[in-house]
A and B are shown apart, each in its own frame.
Chain A
Amino acid sequence: MWRVGVIAVNTFRENLRDKILYNLLFFALLLIGMSVILADLTIAEQKKIVSDMGLAAINIVGLIIAIFVGIGLVNKEIERRTVYTIMARPISRSQFILGKYLGLVLTLFVNVMVMLGVFLGTLWMDQVPIHGAVFQAVELIFIELLLVTALALFFSTFSSTTLSAIMTLGLYVVGHLTGDLKGLAEKSPSEFVKAVVTGLYYLCPNLELLNVKGQAASGIAVALSYQWLATAYGLVYASLLLAGACLIFQRRDF
């Protein structure tokens, strides 16, 4: 576990020195600017829009980092041949994969925490009441980021950076449309289509399960049992992807 930590800390340091956290400045400017622009709206609309936009911004900024840093986590190491000297150390390939993943998760955690701080500050400045629902939404955004990072890492263990980006983005979009997949399966007259679409419905990550931003912006909290279930779903899915990534990486030649 010690070696996993060493890889994770180094990955986090790489992200810091690659100035990835500069995105936070963009995020802060976006929120503050938006808050100024929306000052002319009615109080009720302003509160809802500030909450909505803030949560969406946290999600999108996190997602960009998860996908575009995630797809390079392993590929970059192989392309730059830094993996040669690391794999020659007493570290297993699974430990390496896990370390890289946790390093990016740490980066995302710091990012989300800072963005949450800025978001809460904006809400406070705009005199928008801060509900517990906001924290629920941010927690599930973070779980979604864990899942998407695992997805990007999984693809990057066997395909190129570009292909990994396309597949991760594709699955992200499909993941938010799984409800439609279910509807399509129910309505299709063909048994074959029904079977394929139902299979896809269960295979693709159900990311809508982790999306409670709309309710949170209106100040409506979801049931705690729902939150636990959604969190467990995201973590199990991410763990399965990581296990798959480790299995594939074990068999790779460098």
Chain B
Amino acid sequence: MDAIVVEGLKKIYRSGWPGRQGVTALAGLSLSVQVGEIYGFLGPNGSGKTTTLKILVGLIRATTGKAQVLGKPVGEVAVRRRLGFLPESPYFYDYLTAEEFLAFYGQLAGLNRSDLNIRINHLLELVGLAEARRRQLRMFSKGMLQRVGLAQALIHDPELVILDEPMSGLDPIGRKQVRDLILSLREKGKTVFFSTHIIPDVEMICDRVGIIVKGQLLASGRVDELVSHGHTHSVEVVCEGVSTDQLKTQVKDVTRMLQQGRRCLIVLDNAGQLENVLGVIRSQGGTLVSVTPQKGSLEELFILQNELHSVV
């Protein structure tokens, strides 16, 4: 079952002046996110990530196209009871204490007083803000605001969590905490859909990823599937007791060769040459230490897709 279904979504921001052309933020975007998965929505700045997320939570309306969340059309008030949202660089009511802030959002979600207290205590512990519970948000650092923002998104224990750049502005420890939190949500069967332009975060935790450029989804799938398609794999071979001079004469397509003492590193662009290299090592009486296939990275794919689309 799909938690999010988007089909042919188009959004054109009208210009304030008649006759002047609007700005196309989404140009026929289609994607789906399955229940229980972590889906990373990757794209450069201005690619349409935030616009997509805003449409999904009902903050803006699509010009054309269809979008469904948890089986209901976006914009339906009742469905928002089942989803949590954290916007990018959030600003909150800074006159509230962390406790009051979470109580406010919990009440809006319809939680009763006793459930609310339990959830507030649990979430403040979870995001590491239990000691700051009676402090006004105006005294919070950016990282603390991001964490209390995450807590508000989760206050009503939603089935679907939509996060816009949840790791932005966080230090490495904060980013790890958020990653762990997202992973723990998946363990509880929740669906997480988050946008980012920080590629390592996506590689580390996402089940599937979508790459959006100029309002269009250019690639979508599992990270390992995406990086293995359309990429030339390289292979690293480490051996001992073989001279690089001998290898150079007998093996073609060697990208790089390094000799360090008895040990030799061979990088092949073409994996088909591997058998040939291994044969040469054996025939020279050398010892094979390791063979490591080097997969393409998501970053390479991201840059490639971006460049391809810019050319088109």
Contact = CB atoms under 8 A, between A and B. Distances in A.
Interface in A229-254: 253-254
Contact of B93 (A14, A87, A89, A92): A14
A30 B248 CA distance: 97
Nearest to A81: B91
Interface of A: 2-3, 6-7, 10, 13-14, 17-18, 80-92, 253-254
A74 to B, nearest CB: 14
Interface string B86-116: 1100111101100000001101111000000
**Secondary structure type dominating chain A contacts:** helix
A10 B87 contact: no
A82 B93 contact: yes
B202 interface: no
Contact of B60 (A6, A81, A91, A254): A254
Interface stretch (B34-42, B77-85, B185-193, B260-268): B77-85
Contacts of A89: 80, 105, 108-109
B80 A14 contact: no
Interface stretch (B51-59, B118-126, B250-258): B51-59
Contacts of B60: 253-254
Nearest to A95: B77
Nearest to B92: A82
Contact of B77 (A13, A14, A86, A92): A92
Contact of B104 (A6, A80, A81): A6
A88 B155 CA distance: 13
A87 B108 contact: no
A254 B91 contact: no
23 contacts: A6-B104, A10-B104, A13-B95, A13-B96, A14-B93, A80-B91, A81-B87, A81-B90, A82-B91, A84-B90, A85-B87, A85-B90, A85-B92, A85-B152, A88-B80, A89-B109, A90-B78, A90-B108, A90-B109, A90-B110, A253-B13, A254-B54, A254-B59
Interface of B: 13, 54, 57-61, 77-78, 80-81, 83-87, 90-93, 95-96, 104-105, 107-110, 149, 152-153
A60 B40 CA distance: 55
Contacts of B57: 84, 87-88
Contact of A84 (B61, B80, B87, B104): B87
A89 B158 CA distance: 11
A123 to B, nearest CB: 36
Contacts, number: 74
Contact of B59 (A18, A88, A90): A88
A7 B93 CA distance: 12
B59 A84 contact: yes
A90 B153 CA distance: 13
| Shortest beta-carbon contacts, A-B, top 3 | A88-B85, A17-B95, A253-B60
Given A90-B110, A92-B77, A254-B54, 12 more contacts: A2-B110, A13-B96, A14-B95, A18-B95, A84-B54, A85-B153, A87-B58, A88-B59, A88-B80, A90-B109, A253-B61, A254-B60
A54 to B, nearest CB: 32
A243 B95 CA distance: 30
B101 to A, nearest CB: 10
B107 A84 contact: no
Given A6-B107, A84-B85, A90 B77 contact: yes
Residue among A7, A18, A87 with the highest chain B CB neighbour number at 10 A: A87
A114 B130 CA distance: 38
Contacts of B95: 13-14, 17-18
A91 B87 contact: no
B274 to A, nearest CB: 52
Contacts of B90: 81, 84-85
Contacts of B109: 89-90
Contacts of A13: 95-96
A87 B105 CA distance: 11
Residue among A3, A7, A90, A92 with the highest chain B CB neighbour number at 10 A: A90
A3 B96 CA distance: 18
A88 B93 contact: no
Given A10-B93, A82-B91, A90-B80, A3 B59 contact: no
